[in-house]
Structures are given as structure tokens and as C-alpha cells.
Structure 1
Amino acid sequence: MIYCLNGKLIKKTLDMVVISCGGVGYQVLVPTSVAAALPAVGGEAMLYTMMNVTETDVTLFGFATEEQQTCFKMLTAVSGVGPKVGLAILNVLSPERIALAVSAGDHKAFTAANGVGPKLAQRITLELKDKVGKGLAEGLSLGDVGGMGAPAAAGGALSQAIAALASLGYSASEAAAAVAKLDESLPVEEIIKLALRGMARR
């Protein structure tokens, strides 16, 4: 498997790039957010990749971070979620938002992606709930949920807030639901305060 590519960007569209590595140009399908963040053609680019092999095709999918790569693997392991749907989900949700939606049972968040109806969205949250819920409660990054790597030193603000709420006795799903709609750019302390205030109103 090709784990990552690092080379010169020779072509770029909204959802596809070509990276030249060692004289070979690799065509890689990417989420639109990843393509937009890459440098202009001629610049150096690095992508984490996943190869999808079928009877008639071999396709490379590329991601800006290992978290996106791991998230894509988890999503495409769900029955009914193919690579195109996995990319569509990553087009509208960040890995952390995906983990929060799954842990909170918020299947409606996934219906914002092209090709994801209510039934498939429910299947995604159901099949991934155990995998991501434990990781969020322990304050791990999504990349660690699959059992790879050590706990993140800092982690996202939302993940830290969930870990703090879990230490106060709330379940992972309660904590995730409380912070899921909050702004992740807020300080962790503010997220915790708002989450506690929201839970007190229920």
C-alpha cells in the first residue's frame, strides 16, 4: 500500500490532484477542502493516501492529515459506504465533527453529504459508535481511535472538553451531544461552561 506521497504538484482540480514522485505522476482523488489547501501547481505537496483496488480499477485517495486518512478507512469499512461516499462525508465534516456526531448519535449530520440518506446515516453512527465513543471519552484524537499511536498531547478543544465532562461523571455520548454544536475555536474552559449550561437546561 502507498501510505503517503511527497512531491511536485503538476495538476490540480476541485477533487483531484497529480503529484510527481520519482518521475511518476500519481493521480489522487481528494476532498475539496484538501485540494483548496494545497499549493499552486509547481509547488511541493504531501498527502496521506489510501489505495482502493477493484476488479477494474486502482484508485488512490489522498488526505491532508493522518486523522482524515484514518477516518476515511473507518467510514469505508461501514457497509454501504464506498470511497466516493467517504470522500463526500469528508467534504462536509471534519474528522473531529464526524467523531462527535457518531458518539452523540447525531446521524442527521451525515445526511449533509451527497449520497448519504437517513438509513445509511443511521448505519454509520451505529457501526462506528463503539469505536469513536471510547476514544473521545479518553481524550484521544481520531487517529488514535483505531488503536494506532499514543494519546494526543493536546487534542482538539472539543475532545478535551468531552474528556473533562467524562471525568465529571457524564457518559461519552452525553458529553459529545453537549459539545457537538459548539464552536471548536472557543477556549476549552468556555466550551465546558456552555456544555454544562446546556445540560442543566434539559
Structure 2
Amino acid sequence: MFYYLNGTVAEVQPNLAVIDCGGVGYACATTSNTLSALKKGERAKLYTYLHVAENAFGLFGFGTVSELNSFKMLIGVSGVGPKAALAILSVSTPETLAMSIITGDEKALTVAPGIGKKIAQRIILELKDKMAKESTAGGSLTIGGESAGKSIHFTSKAAEAAAALAVLGYSTAEVAAALKGVDAESLPLEEIIRACLKKMVRS
């Protein structure tokens, strides 16, 4: 229903931001990372997700598309609800979350309040499996635009980064374009993911 809200920050409370758009205040549940960038009285843009449950619905807002995509990815895991997803994204950025999944680092997930070992293992298991399906054979990805229909072969490290970014909701063409110009040979995996996310957020 709503893609984003662009207005004035009316209230900032723990895990909640109220955005005034044309005199209507929209209460968005959100993460600590997004809240840290908001200031009461200043303008802000939050990318939103409307969660509809049996007896209630809630509006969730995020400072970046990658954080929104991470939220949607997490609530797609069986047993992970919006509250748990917000808790994880309050202690992790999209790139550190992707790194935790790639490396199987369940301890990084259990830092979040209410996230135990079993649910952390389930998140890693289900999302790693999704990454494997998203990642194409041999690390080849098709680039859109002028190079449509052509494939480029990435190093194994770049292919891992591409798989992580695909899970965060980016298309194959977007990922391939973001990886162009990134030094995947010498940069650590987390830096590759971060560099790509920055490029895609700006686009």
C-alpha cells in the first residue's frame, strides 16, 4: 500500500518514529539504526512495509531500501515475526546480517534480544539455502542495460557477495551492475557487500 513516507519527524520513541505527512502522523515501528538518523522536527524519508496479521496490522519504516529488504527477508523465515526481525536489524546492518548468514555466525544473531540459538540456526539455514538458489552456477551473472544478454564471470568472493545481495532483494542485473568497478580481488567480503549497497542506495 505505502512504498515510502516523506515528511517531518513528529515523534521519536524507542522502536517507533512518527512521520507527519500533510498533517497526518504515521506511526512506524523501526530499528535502532534508523532511529539514530532521525531528529524531531527535521524531514525524513522512510521506506515502509505494511504487515497484516489476523487481528491487527502494523506499519514498519526503514531508512534504506536495503534495510527494508532485510526485514522482509527475515520475516519470510518460519518462526521469525516482525518484532524479532526489528531486534536483529537493531544490532546488525544489512551487510553484517548478510555476512552472518554467509559465514554461519549464529552468535552474531543471538546478540539480538529474544533471538535464541535455535531461531538463529533456522535463519542461517533457510537464508543460506535461498542464497544458494539465487547464486548462479560458476559465479556468472547476466548484466542488464547495454550489456543485456551477456554474462560476466566473477571470482568466488564476488559470487558470494552477489548471492548475499540477491537475498537482500536486489535483482541479478542490479547486483551485477553494482559489482562493476568494485575491487573484489583485494577487498574483504564485507567491504564488497558494503560498497555494492552504497552504490545501489544512491542509484
TM-score (norm 1): 0.71
Determine the structure 1 residue equivalent to 2:185: 164
Give the deviation of 1:77 after TM superposition: 0.4
Deviates more, 1:146-155 or 1:2-11: 146-155
Alignment of 1:150 with 2:150, yes or no, is no
Deviations 1:153-186 (A, max 9, x none): 556xxxx67x538xxxxxxxxx9xx856xxx59x
Give the deviation of 1:139 after TM superposition: 4.0
- Report SS of the residue matched to 2:36: helix
Give the deviation of 1:132 after TM superposition: 3.6
Deviates more, 1:109-118 or 1:134-143: 134-143
What runs of 5+ residues in structure 1 fail to find an aligned partner? 166-174, 189-202
Determine the structure 1 residue equivalent to 2:20: 20
Alignment of 1:131 with 2:152, yes or no, is no
* C-alpha contact 1:49 1:60 (8 A) present in aligned 2: yes
Identity of aligned residues (%): 45
Give the distance between the partners of 1:12 and 1:63, measured in 2 at CA: 13
Give the distance between the partners of 1:138 and 1:152, measured in 2 at CA: 12
Query: 2:175 is matched by which residue type in structure 1?
Result: P
Determine the structure 2 residue equivalent to 1:96: 95
TM-score (norm 2): 0.71
1:103/1:141 CA distance change after superposition, 3 Å: closer
Query: 2:122 is matched by which residue type in structure 1?
Result: R
What runs of 5+ residues in structure 2 fail to find an aligned partner? 137-157, 196-203
Pairwise CA RMSD: 2.8
* C-alpha contact 2:66 2:94 (8 A) present in aligned 1: yes
Deviates more, 1:110-119 or 1:141-150: 141-150
Query: 1:137 is matched by which residue type in structure 2?
Result: A
* C-alpha contact 1:67 1:142 (8 A) present in aligned 2: no
How many residue pairs get matched?
166
Determine the structure 2 residue equivalent to 1:31: 31
